[in-house]
């Protein structure tokens, strides 16, 4: 009982191959398009319609008569027949006359074709003749049906009754469906006369065909003239027609004269036909499509035809083209069709596959498609935002300006402080402001002097002491640079090393190696934490300090004076090795112009000669160093404000040949060392001589101390 078709579908192996077979069929369908005419005159002939063998789907053949100009297209095999019963009709008496259905246009997108259809008419040549004329359009066994939605029945005439009858073929209940309309040119209200464009009963009537009627596929329409027609001489003709409602417009001359309407539309009037592919319905979901399935384009779907058995193919929404050919349906660029797909001014149209987006522009909210984009901010809010933005911009700008100024200032300072010179000299490291900044905190402050502040910190994994001078107290430019260069070349085990400096500030900062134990001042005189210091240590401190100072004084091309020799400037490392610090600082420090005459240095250790003459010499350092030795052996402080009691008392005691023993620190003043202490006392006295020439040089002091030290070891 199984038909070949069902075998085809049910065989498992075949089912496996079905997609491949369909692909082959699709390919064949696509190939069909090649070499086929797609036009007849001005009329496009898209598949499934086609001209010539293999160019059309079954039932969609088009015949093109190229002999006429322009060429005319006909639906092959579809016919219109006419039967007239009018004795005056020239065609009276003949049998059914047949003619082809002529095409006007085809739209595969809507599944509709427009064709020419005849007008049923009768014209009476006297008052009492009644007759009728019938046209049939034969659409049985074709994919076509008269569109119930697009067409209306129209009657035109002085007195007319128009009828349309759909006859289902083969006959199925209700067999026939009939609609009618009547027009009377003059009725109870004679003042209402026929009007152009108005088909409401005065000379013209119309009726719509109720949709959802299962219309038959043999169409018959006829017209009947009313008797008596007393105005038959002026209005001899009555007309009935099925016509595309968007096409026919009533015009009063249509009802006047002899066959005026027929002359106006010599080929007939436009009528819309639905067409369906095949006579089956769409395959149910999940079912394989039939072998001759028409919807072969991607992006398309099948829709059951509403008025005829069969289905039509449709491109998906937002796709356009021909669903009956492969790759027929392509995405629509909706943004190019703003009249169809709106996107208001406030929106930004963006095409995408299967649709489009129309988001509102930045700063707007709403729906661009609905045209409701509006500003998020009110003008006031906008102004506020603008103002805030402006302020922010100003802030950023001024910040940048400050940064720029800062940078410029930094560069200026760098230049002013002799940066380029030092750079060329390449003797010490030039630190950036930012590198030192983290160290310059009050918690790192370890000392304060007249030059400024000293901070302790870690730089490049080395402990350093940073000297930060008071602004404006430092030499300018070349002088400073030269001094720094000189200092940086002073490399001696008893001199604190200058590691680098930072020039990017008004008063350049100096970076020195950090000496762990602090100053001799602290060691000698800090009563809280008294460190035991034997004579050897003290002698060693004195000798090595003298060595350092002597080295400085002996630097050949430029003698470096310390200018402020004192225990506070002699630092001690873990092994009590002394390191002279702050030498040359006096040269770096500008003489205070407002206090000329006032000298720099510690009054407690100040050479009185220098005080008088105002000229710093090597011997001034020698004087100060003498006091340092005195403090070393006495462990007492020389204090200027106490009338220099220590120095004066010591010198007087020495002068009176009185022994200076009483000045010696008890810790070291043991009998066997008194001789050595006396020798030291002699050196002190020499150094403190008010006759500068009597003072030894630093070199001589150093040598004497060295000899004393050696004599002890021996």
Ligand X SMILES: *[C@@H]1O[C@H](CO)[C@@H](O)[C@H](O)[C@H]1NC(C)=O
Which residues are part of a known binding site for ATP? 468
Chain centroid to Cα 271, Å, comes to 57
CB of 259 to ligand X, least distance (A): 5
The reply to whether 147 sits near ligand X by the rule CB under 6 A is no
Q: Which of 5, 107, 200, 249 binds ligand X (CB under 6 A)?
A: 249
Establish whether 564 is a catalytic residue. Answer: yes
> Quick check: 5 binds ligand X (CB under 6 A)?
no
b/e map of 251-271 (b: 16 or more CB within 10 Å)? bbebbbeeebbbeebeebbbb
Among 3, 34, 128, 657, binds ligand X (CB under 6 A): 128
Q: How far apart are CA 407 and CA 409, in angstroms?
A: 5
**Residues belonging to the chain:** 714
704 binds ligand X (CB under 6 A): no
Q: Interface with ligand X by CB under 6 A: which range of 39-47, 252-260, 400-408, 425-433?
A: 252-260
- Rule CB under 6 A: choose which of 160, 271, 294, 302 binds ligand X: 302
Handedness of CA 242, 243, 249, 251 (dihedral sign): negative
**Which secondary-structure segment (H or E) carries 178?**
strand 176-184
Residue tagged 């402020």 (tokens): 564
Q: Tokens representing 416?
A: 């002013």
303 is an interface residue for ligand X by CB under 6 A? yes
* 304 near ligand X, rule: CB under 6 A: yes
258 binds ligand X (CB under 6 A): yes
Query: Helix or strand or coil: residue 411?
Result: helix
Quote the tokens at residue 152.
Answer: 């209306």
Residue of 564, 582, 602, 607 with catalytic role: 564
Q: How far is the CB of 198 from ligand X (least distance, A)?
A: 9
Q: Where are the beta strands (DSSP E) in 246-323?
A: 269-275, 300-304, 311-315, 319-321
Pull the structure tokens for residue 45.
């002939």
The reply to whether 330 sits near ligand X by the rule CB under 6 A is: yes
Using CB under 6 A as the binding rule, the residues of this chain from 177 to 206 that contact ligand X are 195-196
Separation between Cα atoms, residue 27 and residue 45, nearest integer Å: 20
Three-state SS at 31 = helix
Stretch that binds ligand X, among 102-110, 292-300, 339-347, 478-486 (CB under 6 A): 292-300
Among 68, 443, 461, 594, contact with ligand X (rule: CB under 6 A): 68
Angle between helices 535-554 and 618-634 (to 10 degrees): 170
How many chain residues bind ligand X (CB under 6 A)? 36
Least separation in angstroms between residue 272's CB and ligand X is 14
- Judged by CB under 6 A, which of 15, 39, 267, 327 binds ligand X? 327
What DSSP line would sit under 647-709, residue for residue? HHHHHHHHHTT---GGGS-TTT--GGGHHHHHHHHHHHHHHT-SSGGGSPPHHHHHHHHHHHH
Residue 253 as a binder of ligand X (CB under 6 A): the answer is yes
Site string for ligand X, 28-67 (x = CB under 6 A): ------------------------------x------x-x
Q: Residue with CB nearest ligand X?
A: 298
Q: Is 557 in the site for ligand X (CB under 6 A)?
A: no
Closer residue to ligand X in complex, CB, 10/196: 196
With CB under 6 A as the contact rule, the residue among 5, 92, 107, 558 that binds ligand X is 92
Residue choice 32, 81, 110, 281 for contact with ligand X (CB under 6 A): 281
DSSP collapsed to 3 states, 421-483: HHHHHCCCEECCHHHHHHHCCHHHEEEEECCEEEEEEEECCEEEEEEEECCCCECCHHHHHHH
Q: Does 532 bind ligand X (CB under 6 A)?
A: no
In angstroms, the first-to-last Cα distance of the chain is: 138
The residues that are catalytic are: 564
Q: Which residues are at the interface with ligand X (CB under 6 A)?
A: 58, 65, 67-68, 87, 92-93, 125, 127-128, 195-196, 228, 247-249, 251-253, 258-259, 279, 281-282, 284, 297-299, 302-304, 327, 329-331, 353
């Amino acid at each position: 009982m199984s038909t070949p078709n069902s075998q085809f579908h049910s065989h498992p192996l075949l089912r496996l191959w079905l997609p491949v077979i369909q692909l082959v069929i699709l390919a064949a369908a696509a190939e069909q398009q090649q070499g086929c005419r797609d036009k007849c005159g001005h009329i496009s002939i898209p598949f499934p319609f086609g001209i010539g063998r293999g160019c059309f789907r079954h039932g969609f053949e088009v015949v093109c008569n190229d002999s006429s100009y322009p060429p005319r297209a006909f639906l092959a095999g579809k016919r219109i027949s006419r039967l007239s019963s009018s004795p005056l009709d020239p065609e009276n008496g003949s049998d059914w006359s047949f003619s082809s259905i002529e095409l006007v246009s085809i739209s595969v997108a809507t599944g509709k074709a427009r064709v020419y259809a005849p007008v049923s008419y009768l014209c009476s040549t006297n008052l009492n003749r009644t007759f009728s004329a019938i046209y049939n359009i034969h659409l049985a066994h074709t994919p076509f049906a008269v569109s119930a939605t697009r067409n209306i029945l129209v009657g035109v005439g002085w007195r007319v009754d128009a009828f349309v009858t759909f006859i289902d073929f083969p006959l199925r209940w209700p067999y026939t469906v009939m609609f009618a309309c009547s027009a009377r040119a003059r009725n109870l209200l004679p003042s209402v006369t026929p009007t152009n464009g108005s088909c409401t009963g005065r000379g013209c009537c119309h009726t719509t065909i109720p949709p959802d009627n299962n219309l038959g596929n043999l169409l018959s329409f006829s017209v009947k003239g009313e008797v008596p027609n007393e105005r038959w001489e002026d209005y001899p003709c009555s007309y009935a027609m099925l016509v595309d409602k968007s096409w026919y417009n009533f015009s009063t001359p249509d009802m006047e004269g002899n066959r005026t309407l027929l002359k106006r539309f010599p080929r007939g009037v436009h009528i819309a036909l639905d067409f369906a592919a095949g006579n089956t319905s769409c395959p149910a979901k999940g079912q394989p499509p039939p072998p001759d399935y028409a919807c072969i384009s991607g992006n398309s779907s099948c829709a059951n035809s509403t008025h005829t058995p069969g289905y039509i193919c449709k491109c998906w929404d937002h796709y356009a083209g021909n669903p009956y050919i492969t790759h027929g349906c392509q995405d629509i660029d909706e943004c190019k069709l703003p009249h169809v797909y709106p996107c208001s001014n406030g929106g930004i149209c963006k095409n995408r596959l299967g649709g489009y987006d129309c988001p509102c522009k930045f700063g707007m909210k709403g729906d661009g498609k609905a045209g409701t984009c509006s500003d998020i901010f009110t003008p006031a809010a906008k102004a506020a935002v603008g103002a805030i933005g402006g302020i922010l911009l100003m802030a950023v700008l001024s910040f940048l300006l400050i940064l720029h100024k800062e940078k410029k200032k930094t560069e200026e300072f760098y230049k002013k402080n002799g940066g380029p010179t030092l750079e060329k000299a390449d003797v010490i490291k030039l630190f950036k402001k930012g590198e030192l900044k983290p160290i310059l905190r009050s918690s790192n402050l370890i000392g304060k002097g007249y030059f400024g502040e000293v901070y302790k910190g870690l730089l490049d994994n080395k402990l350093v002491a940073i000297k930060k001078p008071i602004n404006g107290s430092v030499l300018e430019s070349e002088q400073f640079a030269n001094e720094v260069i000189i200092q940086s070349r002073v490399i001696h085990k008893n001199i604190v090393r200058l590691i680098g400096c930072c020039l990017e500030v008004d008063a350049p900062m100096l970076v020195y190696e950090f000496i762990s134990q602090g100053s001799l001042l602290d060691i000698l005189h800090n009563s809280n934490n008294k460190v035991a210091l034997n004579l050897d240590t003290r002698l060693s401190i004195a000798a090595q300090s003298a060595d350092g100072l002597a080295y400085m004084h002996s630097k050949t091309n430029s003698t470096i004076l310390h200018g402020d020799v004192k225990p506070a400037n002699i630092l001690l490392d873990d092994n009590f090795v002394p390191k002279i610090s702050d030498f040359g600082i006096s040269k770096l420090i500008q003489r205070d112009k407002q206090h000329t005459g006032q000298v720099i240095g510690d009054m407690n250790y100040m050479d009185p000669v220098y005080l008088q003459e105002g000229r710093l010499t090597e011997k001034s350092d020698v004087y100060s160093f003498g006091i340092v030795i005195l403090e070393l052996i006495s462990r007492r402080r020389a204090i200027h404000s106490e009338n220099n009691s220590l120095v004066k008392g010591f010198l007087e005691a020495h002068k009176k040949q009185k022994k200076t023993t009483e000045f010696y620190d008890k810790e070291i003043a043991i009998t066997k060392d008194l001789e050595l202490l006396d020798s030291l006392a002699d050196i002190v006295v020499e150094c403190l001589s008010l006759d500068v020439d009597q003072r030894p040089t630093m070199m001589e002091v150093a040598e004497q101390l060295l000899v004393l030290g050696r004599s002890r070891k021996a």
